[in-house]
Structure 1
């Protein structure tokens, strides 16, 4: 019961309204009766994480030169002579080279006109294609982009009705087979299901033939506080509800959306309400002082990780290609993020894009050999803590480690002739020491004055 109270304790009027009957046969439209409304506040400027880093700073150099901008380079910045956002410089020296662009993340600021922002914004302002900009920033998801992150108007669910589904799962005899599926087939504890507020309901789905078929479904709520919704660029308001006055605790969780998925066919799923806000499943379970979180591809995986390790765990909103920029502000407070994607092709294809979004320096990629995902690892009784402890940061594109060189060095030792360069014909004995002249290799010849260094190198220059 402790986990059940954790689930519903922070919801407006939930504890008093859960005793009312809730119809399992109700369709998705039944959730709209007491809907809250959220409108976008900042839909024109995409959010970029402070942890974002460019893979290669030369992309900045190339873009600036394509735009015919004169620049100079320091160890940390590109400095542009003429800021494209400034008024005319009139050729005065003290008006030039005021625009600084950080090499590591592309953040820019002009110390003359005050223009500033992310590399994403800079490219947009200079007329780069939105698709090209989003791809370069890791936003090129198949199903959503930064332009469609937050709709102009969204509806949140009635908390009491949404959370009543959790009671249905645990207390209603008609839902017993749904609970059995989650506990037996998926290996999840009832307390974990309660903590994550998983519920049960019947929903109609339409097949390819247009026929409607009713399916038993598990429900996964996306919860957020008012402060979270504001961070995602929206504002939550329920003008018809007296409880929505300014006196209400902004730290209470509201159900902003519900994911409904059939237990016998994962292709049968929907988000309620259609066109609603984005959110993160399991967000309500994260301790306020947590500085680390596990992000998984699916809801079952997040619960499996938390059940096996006790670590805070959340899931992506809509599978392996869904990390909308709208939810990135929620993740800014974490100093380390463990990204556990499925081991199939689709899951692994998204790893690099998501690491770029979340930040290379704080995102640890989890790889579980022998298990497709975290839920499979739980069912196989694998040590999920050990798997997470072995997670690694994505290698930097411009940094080579000794592990990267190990195979190459071994190959040279095992096959010395294949690694040999251009041989000396005039001093063949030297070939056994230097292995010839090889591109990219530096040989330093030392010795006292008059010992013949210049003579030796002059002779070798005739060969090479």
Structure 2
């Protein structure tokens, strides 16, 4: 009896500890990137211009911003260098001189308040401290490093070999403002704003070039340089690597050369490019069209691939003229009606980059990659399956896989809370049960927080207009490439409406996201419930709730078939029921691991993998002929022994005859 009470008491205490651990885990899912209604500006360009003029500020119209004078950074004086840039699409503002920046509602308050109030003073002090910290950090780097301009020719050649950079006699002049560590293994690239003030820096270590680190207000600045003795300040060429920059500088391509790593341009960095009349985008980015739209299509040009050579580095290695390719860059703007001559280069680019056009490969789901080819922008995917089959968990892991490869993702979770969704994705990211490994939570949470994943701060029923406004805002602010809506029925709250109204509203949602995916070159994944079917029947494209519009508009239809829920127990698998890109259909087995909340295929045990090989080797050893014993084995064969006996008999007979002949001669 006492043992039973003790066991019961122990289990109760253990349960309380587990509940407390889970609560701590939920509370520690913090700082997730939420996008809410308060983040969406309720302002237009006309209203911004009107408010500024009412306050006595003249307004200049730029490519991406409205430009006016800023008196916040210079006190009572209106200096000519104090300019404030206000983004036309979002109202986000920035003054490069005093580093004051923020959303439109902050600027509106600053304009309405008098200069002596505490609010303005606090904004100034905070901005000044941030900018001063960046300057002090960079000065510390300068004190501990040396400039590349101080290196001699031999040292510069060794440096280029170490970092695998193209060498040019004037490389140290091109990279004159870059700093290098005393052991020549780390480079520091300064990031500057539109006034050439350093607002951050990028740290690149030899052997880890793909893992560069950023410091300071790095999102507000870019690294740029020019070829020596080359003019033209109205043109800039944006490229993805520093190797491209050095090749362009070596070929004396006119204009400013800008190193843009991932083609992501938040509004705070757009003023850096405001003064250029012509922008040439040359790289292997898959969102060049969206970036050109943000920068202003009228001034953007695309350098198209030539014979499969996508980047400036590839073209330079093939001994092509980079000057000619830049001068022949094609406009980014498209008319409403076009001809094949206008899209001919786009077709050729697709044919010469087949693997890239297939999209980003899933690393956790190689079988899905073999069927779909990859995750492509501009497509609409519908994921459906019976209730409780794990649609959200599967979709979370698929999106996590892509986010780990740099795909900026926006999650709209209308069925479960963002904290619970983030906990699931964090555990999939860690690959271990976090409630049993709380000591490792901070490490995994810090790494997970760096992923480009954002969450809509909505839950339950929401009007489609508000949702689309938030999605459009997030796409512009964070360069979103993948939008996940889980799920459509919860977002619309269709439970209390008649069938006709429900179908009509759902069709409107699908049409809105279909248009968004195509026009904004962004992939959209819609999680949808199926209509009720018999347990014995498999789900199909016609099983999706609502009319046939969902399956018709979708480029991909994925169905979770869960045979574990039927009377005759079976397996769970993901069926590719529609694939507009290649037409390949098939199934992907799904085995769920409760510890990691993952459907990732388990790696086979190495010992089990080696068993067939061992068996095959044994067979070869048993039936193979060894060269070293081949002659001796042959000597021991029966037919060889018979031949030897025959030779012995013949030799004996010959000796007997020779003896008789010899005897006759002697007689």
Identify whether the pair has TM-score above 0.5, normalized to the shorter chain: no
User: Could you say which TM-score interval applies, normalised by the shorter chain?
Assistant: 0.3 to 0.5
**Which protein shows a greater Rg?**
2
TM-score (norm 1): 0.41
TM-score (norm 2): 0.30
More helix by share: 2
